[in-house]
Amino acid sequence: MLTIVAAFTLAAAPEFAFGFSNENGSQILALPPVSAAASITKAVCEGRSVDVKFVKDQPAGARDTGRQTARNFTQVKGALFKRVKGTLPADALCLLGTNAAFAKRKLMPVSPETGDCEAKVSASAAELTKRKVTKCLSTGTFPEGRLSFASYELEGSEALATVMLTREKEAPALRKFPATWERGAPSCWRADDGCEFDASSYRVAFAMSGPAGLELYALWAGPEGENAEVLRVKGSELKVVASASRYWSPE
């Protein structure tokens, strides 16, 4: 079962950091570790690029509840940025970086979709995992591809769900979510999920294309918190190259 931690963690892509916006969208707080905070000048929230400027390292407040939310924004320790140009949604988990990092990448919004997958998409989800698909849903589309969710029959105690990217002239690629199933267990992937992966809880907010190839920025919400991932296409894999999580409940 995936455990939400009450901090942000940065994986193997130091050009990126993560942060969340305050209640009126005027500021963003990035949590450690952040290298060279003063060099960060861009934030992308829900697919919209915003200019930001580093203000200061904000200390933890005396009334910090341990939640990384807009309500607790002024109490959380981290690198504080102000919005310079553009508009920010409230309490959004955003991707941060330098002008150089985003200048070499083209941003592409992802439009949500609902409905069953086409038969060929479901067949690809089965072929890539060598497992029988029990559910396949379309979840999003953007200029360079289509996103789908699949769940699979149990193999003993091994449960599996995937998010799949399909493109017209490229082989499909998967982000796998394995879990251990136990009869009567309240959780497999997220707290209190009833061992059912909720496809609507995982969404790709935007895509990017650049020298590193195609990248996806995904958000995974649960009762206790939210994860963020930068996924990069590596052959048949959607590889997590940077990730973060924030804790938000109960507040």
pLDDT computed for residue 1 by the predictor: 45
Say what the pLDDT of residue 15 is: 81
Query: Are 123 and 75 contained in the same domain?
Result: no
On whether both 221 and 137 belong to a single domain, the answer is yes
47 and 158 together in one domain = no
**Domain count of the chain?**
2
Residue 10 lies in a domain: no
Report pLDDT for 7. 44
Domain boundary among 105, 125, 158: 105
Last residue of a domain, one of 105, 124, 157: 105
How high is the pLDDT of residue 183? 86
Q: Is residue 4 part of a domain?
A: no
Asked if residue 96 belongs to a domain, the reply is: yes
Alpha-carbon Rg for the chain in angstroms? 18
138 and 25, same domain (yes or no): no
62 is a domain residue: yes
In a domain, residue 3? The reply is: no
Which residues have CB under 8 Å from 120's CB, separation 6+?
A: none
Task: Label residue 30 exposed, middle or buried (CB < 10 Å: 0-12, 13-18, 19+).
Answer: buried
Q: Please report whether residue 2 resides in a domain.
A: no
Same-domain check for residues 176 and 125: yes
Domain of residue 119 covers: 111-247
203 within domain boundaries: yes
Mean pLDDT in consecutive groups of 10 residues from the start of the chain, 251 residues: 42 73 96 88 93 96 96 96 92 95 95 95 97 97 96 96 95 96 89 92 96 96 93 96 90 69
**Are 160 and 235 contained in the same domain?**
yes
- Please report the beta strands in 66-157, taking only residues with DSSP state E, as ranges in sequence order: 78-85, 93-97, 106-109, 111-112, 133-142, 145-152
Within 10 angstroms of residue 200's Cβ, the number of other Cβ atoms is 11
